[in-house]
């Protein structure tokens, strides 16, 4: 389960093998996840980025840094973010799903708060583009981690009490690291067929059809998550696969397809993002210019949130 807190705790130590934030144009000490002027100008112009081109800057989202953060997921306007948080204490760990807002894409997020109606211990949030549906994983009645959903009537309201998704989307294995795609389908990882792989459940009748494996994005190793561009043509895949020059315990890879009716092609290592630490991709902006991900590069015992940027 790619973004489970237990996995984060086992991540490798990040050290000299990862390029510094300064080398990539980020500022490790600014405490500010605001975008630089060229990115802001591109946003204003309505420009889009080329997913095949490398990201040129990595910035830590330090205002959300509490203890151990993972799986960021955002609304389409990037003004609301949810993420998993593990608070470590001598008396035991507390696991929560957190929520924060900001006034513009270039602004810092405000102080994160617990999503009140989602129970402690629930993990891996994934929000719909309109911000009204939240998927997550928790201990359920089928497997050790099942998929749940909560909704809210508008973006000014808190999410209600969640319900377990019905049907064959669940298995006796663990279903985690969900992602809501452009067409309303739900991608997630599951070990129901052996190792952890990427699966997709298409929307059907107000719920989901039986999921199918996404073989083109899976490997014999552990595949721990996916984030699709909003046209569905590019996939950022988190995997422990070792056949493409892996540098850490989890790395980010990129795959492309010509149309949503096609299979994805070969994966390529996103070397500008990966290092000896664990990197896991979770959400890409509508203009393909900002990738939100987690990494253990600055905290070997757990994760922190980052945004990688490029300019059109």
Q: Mean pLDDT over residues 287-300, rounded?
A: 92
> Which of 105-114, 184-193, 300-309 shows the lowest per-residue confidence on average (mean pLDDT)?
300-309
Burial environment of residue 242 by CB neighbours within 10 A (0 to 12, 13 to 18, 19 or more): exposed
Residue with tokens 């300064």: 22
Alpha carbons 159 and 147: distance in angstroms, whole number: 16
Residue range 133-182, pLDDT digits in tens:
999 999 989 988 999 999 999 999 999 999 999 989 999 999 999 999 99
Alpha carbons 303 and 278: distance in angstroms, whole number: 8
CB 290 within 8 A of CB 306: no
Q: What domains are there in the chain, each with its CATH number?
A: 5-309 (2.120.10.30)
Name the DSSP class of 145.
B
User: Residue 13: what pLDDT?
Assistant: 29
User: Residue 245: what pLDDT?
Assistant: 80
User: Residue 56: what pLDDT?
Assistant: 97
Q: pTM above the 0.75 mark?
A: yes
Q: Phi/psi class of residue 38: alpha, beta or left (left: φ > 0; alpha: ψ in -120 to 50)?
A: alpha
pLDDT band at 30 (very low <50, low <70, confident <90, very high): very low
> Which of 43-52, 62-71, 102-111 shows the lowest per-residue confidence on average (mean pLDDT)?
43-52
User: Residue 43: what pLDDT?
Assistant: 57
Give the residue from 12, 63, 79 showing the smallest Cα distance to 305: 63
pLDDT band at 41 (very low <50, low <70, confident <90, very high): low
Residue 131 has pLDDT above 80, yes or no: yes
Give the residue from 118, 101, 170, 168 showing the smallest Cα distance to 140: 170
3-state SS of 38-85 is: HHHHHHHHCCCCCCCCCCCEEEECHHHCCCCEEEEEECCCCCEEEEEE
Residue range 9-27, pLDDT digits in tens:
333 223 333 333 333 443 3
Sign of CA dihedral 54, 20, 87, 301: positive
Alpha carbons 185 and 208: distance in angstroms, whole number: 8
Give the residue from 286, 188, 307 showing the smallest Cα distance to 229: 286
């Amino acid at each position: 389960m790619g973004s489970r807190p237990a996995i984060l705790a086992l991540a490798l130590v990040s050290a000299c093998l990862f390029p510094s934030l300064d080398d990539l144009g980020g500022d490790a000490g600014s405490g500010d996840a605001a975008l630089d002027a060229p990115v802001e100008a591109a946003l204003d112009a309505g420009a889009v980025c080329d997913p095949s081109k490398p990201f040129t800057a990595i910035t830590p989202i330090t205002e959300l840094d509490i203890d151990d953060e993972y799986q960021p997921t955002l609304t389409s306007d990037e003004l609301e973010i949810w993420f998993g948080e593990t608070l470590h204490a001598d008396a035991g760990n507390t696991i929560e799903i957190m929520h924060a807002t900001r006034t513009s894409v270039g602004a810092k997020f405000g102080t994160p708060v617990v999503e009140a109606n989602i129970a402690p211990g629930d993990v891996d949030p994934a929000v719909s583009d309109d911000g009204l549906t939240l998927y997550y994983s928790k201990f359920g009645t089928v497997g050790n981690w099942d998929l749940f959903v909560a909704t809210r009537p508008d973006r000014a309201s808190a999410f209600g009490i969640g319900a377990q998704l019905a049907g064959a989307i669940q298995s006796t294995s663990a279903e985690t690291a969900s992602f809501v795609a452009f067409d309303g389908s739900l991608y997630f990882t599951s070990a129901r067929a052996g190792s952890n792989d990427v699966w997709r459940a298409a929307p059907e009748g107000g719920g989901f059809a039986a999921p199918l494996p996404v073989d083109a994005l899976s490997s014999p190793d552990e595949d721990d998550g996916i984030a699709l561009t909003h046209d569905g043509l590019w996939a950022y895949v988190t995997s422990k696969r070792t056949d493409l020059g892996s540098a850490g315990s989890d790395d980010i890879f990129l795959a492309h397809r010509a149309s949503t009716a096609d299979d994805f092609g070969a994966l390529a290592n996103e070397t500008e993002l990966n290092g000896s630490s664990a990197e896991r991709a979770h959400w890409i902006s509508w203009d393909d210019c900002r990738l939100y991900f987690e990494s253990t590069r600055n905290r070997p015992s757990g994760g922190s949130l980052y945004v990688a940027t490029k300019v059109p």
